[in-house]
Amino acid sequence: MSRHLGTLASWRTELRAGNITPAELVRNVAQAIDKSDTATHAYLSFDTDKAVKQAEQADIHSALAGIPIAIKDNICVYGEPARCASKLLENFIAPYDATAIVKLKASGGIPFGRTNMDEFAMGSTGANSAFGATGNPNNQTHAPGGSSSGSAAAVADGTAIAALGSDTGGSIRQPAAHCGIVGLKPTYGRVSRYGLVAFASSLDQIGTLTQTVEDSGILLQAICGHDPHDSTSSNRECDDFTSGLGRDIKGTRIGIPQEYRTSGNHPRITAALDKAISTLESLGAEIVEISLPHSEAVVAAYYIIACAEASSNLSRFDGIRYGVRAANPNGLEDLYRRTREAGFGPEVKKRIILGTYVLSSGYYDAYYSRAQKVRALVAEDFRKAYAEVDYILGPTTPAPAPKLHDSAMTPLQTYLADIYTIPANLAGLPGISIPCPVDGDALPVGIQLLGRHFDETGLLTVAHAVEQSLNV
């Protein structure tokens, strides 16, 4: 893996010192994309001239100092494509900025490049894009993870300094683990969803993909905050998320769920978890075994809830208001049918059908209503756990990155790849994945820390301490 671009924090220092201008930095990133992205296909498009013009107006004393940030293709940037990696939105241009982009620009960041993804954020491999799969920069025959595949691969490959993604059931943390970078999903409501094309509205959250924990805190600081356009946006003040970095974590109680230590984990995942536990113990943290008893039900509950919400959210794509339209329809129903048949990919169709089924009058109580009850039980599991511990440690994924287009992977196996990341979305908790080097092949693996609602500052403090010790 080649990271030929520096960190967000280091570039901010260079820009403020006058050693480089924001416009020059944008051109450097564009050159890196030209050089490397043909193999990885992390980007769907990028507009260097537009970004340079914005960079020429950037304030180097702002929080992001004119640094270019890659943007997942489901986050609206005014005047740029917002295709969600779908043929249905192939020609759609965003008519406004998402609130996260408004805040990014106000903080001196330059949105630069639309990154590839699983179509409408549905998938965990990066292979479900209508415009071609993204490759893992560590081994391009393997998946980078999804759905924020392009954002993760770009940061890992050195074609982005940092990136924004979205996380519905692990779509930031899982590709971060597979690509060997840091992925942060904030507390639900911490970052506005206005301008994020909805997959499952009660689960979706914009977050960060970066090279370091420090960069995650810097970038989150730039995009967080209340938004009156989003009724689920929290009015809680943003903290200084990097204020605890370098702080001693002695005495911090770290919970290890017994359900996360299973024979189903790949040996390198088990080794990574053991290494992380040893590292935390060496830093003076107290390790406590805990239980999250409803862990075995999270995948089933998630896919019922997420698909139900997707079937509702994606009903707006009907060939009339957005995107492509079937030619010469024979009535309204024919227009809907042929537009969606041509525009949606197989995974999206599968989830819409499942979501429609579980919401139907005969099955609503049997499936959707019960899934929501399980969701409440999962949240209660965490509430009880946090009465005993400060943070929870576990694997990010049960195995390293699978091969792209692996015919041996069943849909169920693919869905189970999110088994450790889904609980944070169901409960609305913040979670971060950090790389954990272990012996074996070149594919990275990650470990995940989960915190209480709105405790990103503490979560980043512990993650940074582990990161620094692992990299010594």
Q: Which residues are catalytic?
A: 72, 147, 171
Structure-block tokens of residue 373: 């009850």
Structure-block tokens of residue 103: 């805040």
- Rounded Cα distance, 119 and 178, in Å: 19
- Rounded Cα distance, 468 and 447, in Å: 14
Contact 395, 433 (CB under 8 A): no
Query: What is the separation, in whole angstroms, between the first and last Cα of the chain?
Result: 19
The enclosing H or E element of 153 equals helix 149-157
- Rounded Cα distance, 136 and 126, in Å: 9
Q: Which residues make beta-bridge pairs with 70?
A: 163
Please enumerate in sequence order all residues whose Cβ is within 8 A of that of 288, keeping only pairs 6 or more positions apart, or say none: 253, 254, 255, 256, 388, 389
3-state helix, strand, coil in the chain (%, to 5): 40, 15, 45
Q: State the Cα torsion 133-138-141-142 to the nearest 10°.
A: -70
H helical segments located in 8-111: 8-16, 22-40, 48-56, 99-106
> How far, in whole angstroms, is CA 3 from its chain's centroid?
20
Contact 384, 427 (CB under 8 A): no
- Rounded Cα distance, 308 and 67, in Å: 38
407 upstream amide cis, omega within 30 of 0: no
DSSP result, 216-280: HHHHHHHH-S--TT-TT---PPP--TTTTTT---TT-EEEEEGGG--TTS-HHHHHHHHHHHHHH
